[in-house]
Amino acid sequence: MALPVEVVGAWATVATACVIGASAVAALVQLRHMRAGNQLEALLAIQRDFQRQDLQAAIRYVQEPLAKKLEDFEYRKELEKTGFVDATVHPELVVCNWFNEIGTLVKHRLVAEEPFMDLFARLIVHCWAHVASAVAIMRRTRGDFQYHDFEFLAAHAARWVDAHPHGNMPRAFQRESLPDRWRETDLRTETSK
């Protein structure tokens, strides 16, 4: 018994739709894998960039001498002026520029926020706390646009740290207490000073 042409045509249409649907699902899966690969590569590039000696030196500068330098009127005037500010004299700009660039990438979802924050959130919050006064000085003449993506990144990082105060460990992971054999010695030394 032969099937009517209409039935065969209907089955062929259904089969074609299934093939197209399966192809679309496969394409979406492939795009997802490509996006994950691209974001991993971006995160690895950021990690390599973070290892640069000039950036590491600038972060150390931000943590230590910057607060004292900001007490100097001339130093502040250099930050306030519009135009080129010498990063060899103002290493805080290296830190601000780097985090501002990263903030732009995170804001536009070119870098996955969750793994990036897992690596850098505490450092971002720490650095922003140290450079915020310098940024405020620059904003006197340059406006709120100055380092706004660093500010965006710092706000997100602060929320991430608040949400993950002990890090971002899987729930099933059981931490073991680490022995701190120098704790008592260091406390005694600190109190004897």
- How many domains, in total, are found in the chain? 1
Residue 75 confidence (pLDDT): 96
The answer to whether 136 and 82 are in contact (CB under 8 A) is: no
- Mean pLDDT along residues 85-99: 95
Can you give the pLDDT at residue 112? 85
Residue 33 lies in a domain: no
Q: Is residue 184 part of a domain?
A: no
Q: Where are the alpha helices (DSSP H) in 51-147?
A: 53-63, 65-69, 73-80, 92-107, 113-142
Q: Which pTM does this prediction carry?
A: 0.76
pLDDT at residue number 2:
67
189 occurs within a structural domain: no
CA 40 vs. chain centroid, Å, equals: 13
State whether residue 165 is helix, strand or coil: strand
Domain carrying residue 129:
43-166
* Cα dihedral across residues 31, 33, 122, 101: positive or negative: negative
- Reported confidence tier of residue 179, pLDDT bands at 50, 70, 90: confident
Evaluate whether residue 104 is within a structural domain.
yes
pLDDT of residue 46: 79
Instruction: State the pLDDT at residue 82.
Output: 87
Would you list the DSSP string of 123-153? HHHHHHHHHHHHHHHHHHHH-TTTTHHHHHH
| C-alpha count within 13 angstroms, C-beta hemisphere, residue 164 | 18
Q: Tell which residue, 116, 77, 118, has the closest CA to residue 99.
A: 116
pLDDT for 45: 80
From CA 59, how far away is CA 97, in angstroms rounded?
A: 12
**Which tokens in the block code for residue 122?**
């505490």
Residue 33 pLDDT: 67
Within a domain: residue 16? no
The amino acid that residue 21 corresponds to is G
Instruction: Report which of residues 114 and 152 the model is more confident about.
Output: 152
3-state SS assignment for residue 167: strand
Residue 181 lies in a domain: no
Instruction: Give the model confidence (pLDDT) of 120-129 as tens digits.
Output: 999 999 999 9
Residue 80: which residues within 8 A CB-CB, separation 6 or more?
137, 138, 140, 141
What distance lies between CA 131 and its chain's CA centroid? 17
Tell me the pLDDT tens digit for each residue of 21-44.
877 777 776 777 666 677 777 777
Write out pLDDT tens, residues 33-78: 666 677 777 777 878 888 999 999 999 999 999 999 999 999 999 9
Is 67 inside any structural domain?
A: yes
| 152 domain-assigned | yes
Question: What are the pLDDT digits (tens) for 144-165?
Answer: 999 999 999 999 999 999 999 8
**Amino acid at residue number 43:** L
Mean pLDDT of the residues in the chain: 88
Q: Which amino acid is at 63?
A: Q
Tally of CA atoms within 13 A in the half-sphere of 60 that contains its CB:
7
